[in-house]
Amino acid sequence: MSNAISVIQIFKDEIFIASGTAEFIIDLERENANGYFSLQMVVTGSAAGVLKGEYKVSNNNVNFVEPTGATDIFEGLDKDGGPLSDGVDMYSFEPELSKFLKVVITETGGAAGVTFGAWLAIQ
């Protein structure tokens, strides 16, 4: 078991329109993952958009599924969210064993968009 931690910037200044979605796929075999994940995020902008993050998994990189019993990585994050009310927060999550991981971010406020950045840590 490796103790190395990989960090990947999976979104950089991604602009989410109202109800918009973006996704990023990671080949976990190349990242030498041992099952530990965290997602650090920053939400900026003057709009009142709200974001939700979830994951889907696949062993063939074609059919991605949200496993039974899976919970969202986060929900309700906006530019005033996080422990310091500055739009910055970090969440850990435990996806099911798989070769591929897809992180899906969705603007759920429906009224306005936001700008989003995220870094995924994998160990």
Over residues 22-45, the pLDDT tens digits come to 999 999 988 777 889 999 999 988
Domain that holds residue 40: 6-122
Over residues 55-86, the pLDDT tens digits come to 999 999 999 999 999 999 999 999 999 999 99
CA pair distance 5, 37, nearest whole angstrom: 10
Q: Taking all residues of the chain, what is their mean pLDDT, rounded to a whole number?
A: 91
In a domain, 1, yes or no: no
In a domain, 19, yes or no: yes
In a domain, 34, yes or no: yes
Burial label, 69 (beta-carbon count in 10 A; 0-12, 13-18, 19+):
exposed
* Cα separations in angstroms, 107 against 41, 65, 82: 14, 20, 17
On the question of pLDDT at 1 being above 80, the answer is no
Run of H or E including 5: none
Which domain CATH number covers 21?
2.60.120.380
Backbone angles phi, psi at 13, to 5 degrees: 50, 40
- Count up the domains in the chain and report the number: 1
